[in-house]
């Protein structure tokens, strides 16, 4: 009898170990696939923005590759289909570094890449600008190198402070990946960019990306399993995947980046909460301009 019970216990333990190993294997495979897909999407978006719309470099490998890639029919077609406009505030931006609070994020953050990674904002606003992206990107080897080469920094407070001290302006998306594939969510009550602007009295510029939410089709009635897996992935590694989407290549909207007047002296606005309320109203006004015209 004791031998039978011992055999049963060993059998149960072996089955449990097998299930645990299978679960770990599935988890590792899933995280690996998420990392690969995220790397392809992220690097593809940055490369397309830089290669297709940025000024053509003159030196090095990029100086040889970019002009030749722009002779491809697909690149010509994409340049015609995807139009991007940049509208600066009526008054010139204050001198020195500024913080851009940009919304919405969208699925691919295409407007942010076209505005701040192609030199469009640098030429028009005369300010060298870095784009703050999710910290998880800098934990993936390929994504980290591409992000650094294209002018991105970690969205952490230390990285943004260092960039501002070195004379760079920084573009931040307060909504973050929460806005990927979702309707435009209300701005957080007190986003980190507002706290940073108020703490260091750095001018804060509201930015609205018109057309970004309409750029990609997103599967709304997805199975509950995919939604659960995405929430778990976001909770564990900070990436909002898997997300079933497709760019609207058949009917691309015109992307329009609108910059509002800068809050030049955040301390004069009162508390950080007052500055956050003013930023939210400015962002809503810029969004209504896009709806009306």
Say which residues have a Cβ less than 8 Å from residue 249's Cβ, sequence separation at least 6: 81
Which is more confident, 171 or 61? 171
pLDDT by residue (tens digit) across 182-195? 656 666 666 788 88
Residue with more model confidence, 84 or 22: 84
Confidence of residue 290 (pLDDT cuts 50, 70, 90): very low
Q: What is the pLDDT of residue 276?
A: 85
Banded pLDDT at 171 (limits 50, 70, 90): very high
What percentage of the chain exceeds 70 in pLDDT?
A: 81
Query: pLDDT (tens digit, 9 = 90+) per residue, 61-91?
Result: 666 777 777 777 877 777 777 878 888 887 7
Separation CA 293–CA 290 (nearest Å)? 5
Band of residue 32 on the pLDDT scale cut at 50, 70, 90:
low
In a domain, 265, yes or no: yes
Its domain, for residue 83, covers: 31-216+254-292
Give the separation between CA 88 and CA 159, rounded to whole angstroms.
26
Residues whose CB is less than 8 angstroms from the CB of residue 201 and which lie 6 or more positions away in sequence, other chains included: 265, 266, 267
For residue 231, is it within any domain?
Answer: no
CATH number at residue 285: 3.40.1130
> Collapsing DSSP states into helix, strand and coil, what is residue 289?
helix
* In a domain? residue 36: yes
Cα–Cα distances (Å) from 22 to 19, 26, 178, 224, in that order, read 5, 6, 30, 22
What confidence score (pLDDT) does residue 31 get? 58
Mean pLDDT to the nearest integer, 86-111: 85
What gap in Å lies between CA 274 and CA 279, rounded to an integer? 9
Average pLDDT over residues 31-39: 61
d(CA 273, CA 6): 65
Whole-angstrom CA distances from 223 to 107, 220, 241, 242 are 19, 9, 14, 12
2 assigned to some structural domain:
no
**CA-based nearest residue to 201, from 265, 262, 156, 158:** 265
Most confident of the ranges 28-32, 56-60, 269-273 = 269-273
Q: String of b and e for 215-241 (b: at least 16 CB within 10 Å)? A: bbbeeeeeeeeeeeebeebbeebebbb
pLDDT in tens, 216-275: 888 777 778 777 777 777 777 666 676 777 778 778 888 889 998 889 888 888 888 888
Ramachandran category for residue 21: left, alpha or beta (phi over 0 → left; psi -120 to 50 → alpha) = alpha
- On whether residue 161 sits in a domain, the answer given is yes
User: Degrees (nearest 5) of the Cα angle 92, 192, 213?
Assistant: 70
In 10 A of CB 61, how many CB atoms? Answer: 8
- Domain count within the chain: 1
Q: Is the pLDDT of residue 291 over 50?
A: no
Q: What is the band of 204 on the pLDDT scale with cuts at 50, 70, 90?
A: very high
Q: For the residues 49-69, what does the mean pLDDT come to? A: 69
User: Quick one: tokens of 94?
Assistant: 């204050």
């Amino acid at each position: 009898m004791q031998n039978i019970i011992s055999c049963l216990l060993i059998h149960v333990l072996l089955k449990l170990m097998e299930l645990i190993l299978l679960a770990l294997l599935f988890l590792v495979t899933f995280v690996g696939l998420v990392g690969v897909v995220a790397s392809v999407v992220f690097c593809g978006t940055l490369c397309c923005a830089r290669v297709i719309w940025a000024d053509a470099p003159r030196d090095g490998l990029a100086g040889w590759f970019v002009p030749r890639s722009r002779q491809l029919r697909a690149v010509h077609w994409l340049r015609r289909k995807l139009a991007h406009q940049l509208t600066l505030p009526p008054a010139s931006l204050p001198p020195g570094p500024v913080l851009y609070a940009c919304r919405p994020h969208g699925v691919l953050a295409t407007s942010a890449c076209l505005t701040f990674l192609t030199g469009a904002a640098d030429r028009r606003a005369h300010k060298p600008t870095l784009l703050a992206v999710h910290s998880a990107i800098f934990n993936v080897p390929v994504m980290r190198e591409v992000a650094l080469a294209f002018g991105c920094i970690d969205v952490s407070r230390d990285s943004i402070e260092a960039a501002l001290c070195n004379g760079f302006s920084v573009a931040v998306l307060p909504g973050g990946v929460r806005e990927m594939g979702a309707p435009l969510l209300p701005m957080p009550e007190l986003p980190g960019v507002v706290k940073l602007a108020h703490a260091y009295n750095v001018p804060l510029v509201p930015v609205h990306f018109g057309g970004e939410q309409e750029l990609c089709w997103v599967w709304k009635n997805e199975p509950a399993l995919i939604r659960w897996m995405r929430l778990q992935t976001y909770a564990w590694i900070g990436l909002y995947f898997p997300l079933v989407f497709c760019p609207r290549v058949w009917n691309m909207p015109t992307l329009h980046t609108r910059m509002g007047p800068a809050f030049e002296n955040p301390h004069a606005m009162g508390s950080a909460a007052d500055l956050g309320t003013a930023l939210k109203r400015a962002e809503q006004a810029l969004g209504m301009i896009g709806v009306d015209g």
